[in-house]
Amino acid sequence: MKTLIILAHPNLKNSLANKTIINELIESDLDIEIRNISELYPDFNINVNAEQEALVKADNIVFQFPFYWYNMPSILKQWFDAVFEYQFAYGSEGDKLKGKNFIPSFTVGGSIESYTFSGYNNFPVTDFTKNLEQTSNFAQMHYTKPIFENSMVYLEGIYNVKEEIIERARKQAKRVLKHLLYLQTKSKDKKGTVCT
């Protein structure tokens, strides 16, 4: 199975969590392509054909990003607005993404406790990701429950401990890889089934 990672981080060079996750994913033996869309499109001028071609070739699409203002960063929204076109992602002939796996993997700054009805973020994290879920539905993709870790913001001496963030980032990467392996096994099982 081919996995495409759409990486959306406006400042990966200075990132701790997302950079660690990506480095872990690169080192796996799986067939993974990474498209760093913040780097590819600093002017937000998305090459729709190139993105659609990469999507068509893949079985799994992982969206890797930091949670900004309770959703995806603007470059990723721009990507969806441009790439998920009529007659590509939806419409009478828009079945080019049908059956592919849609896998959100993001890093959340706030703590688990803050994302509760009594916490300062008021809602559980997945209350903020219904737009991802329904985008996946509308494109006839298979939605995976988001893979994320909390407390992923690092401000030296103020917020969180560097080593602990790296540890959580590695844990998150492992969860993504485990899920990709599960999908691969499931896919092989399916192909091996003979319907009589």
Q: Name beta bridge partners: 90.
A: 86
| CB neighbours of residue 121 within 10 Å | 19
Among the residue ranges 1-9, 65-73, 92-100, 175-183, the one whose residues contact a copy of itself (CB under 8 A): 65-73
Q: Applying CB under 8 A, what is the total number of residues that bind a copy of itself?
A: 29
Residues ≥6 apart with Cβ < 8 Å to 155: none
Query: Tokens in use for 25?
Result: 């994913």
User: Rounded CA gap, 3 and 31, in Å?
Assistant: 6
User: Rounded CA gap, 50 and 173, in Å?
Assistant: 26
Instruction: Please give the residues from 135 up to 154 whose contact with a copy of itself meets the rule CB under 8 A.
Output: 135, 137-138
Query: From the list 73, 104, 109, 146, which residue makes contact with a copy of itself (rule: CB under 8 A)?
Result: 73
Query: From the list 63, 65, 84, 106, which residue makes contact with a copy of itself (rule: CB under 8 A)?
Result: 84
Nearer to a copy of itself, 153 or 180 (CB): 153
- Residue 93 binds to a copy of itself (criterion: CB under 8 A): no
Query: From the list 77, 142, 170, 174, which residue makes contact with a copy of itself (rule: CB under 8 A)?
Result: 77
Please report how close the Cβ of residue 30 comes to a copy of itself at its closest, in angstroms: 28
Instruction: Please give the residues from 118 up to 137 whose contact with a copy of itself meets the rule CB under 8 A.
Output: 120-123, 127-128, 130-131, 133-135, 137
Nearer to a copy of itself, 102 or 173 (CB): 102
**DSSP assignment string, 84-145:** S-BTTTBSTT--TTTT-EEEEEEE-SS-TTTSSTTSTT-S-GGGG-HHHHHHHHHTT-EEPP
109 touches 153 (CB < 8 A): yes
Contact residues: a copy of itself, CB under 8 A: 10, 43-44, 68-75, 77-78, 80-81, 84, 120-123, 127-128, 130-131, 133-135, 137-138
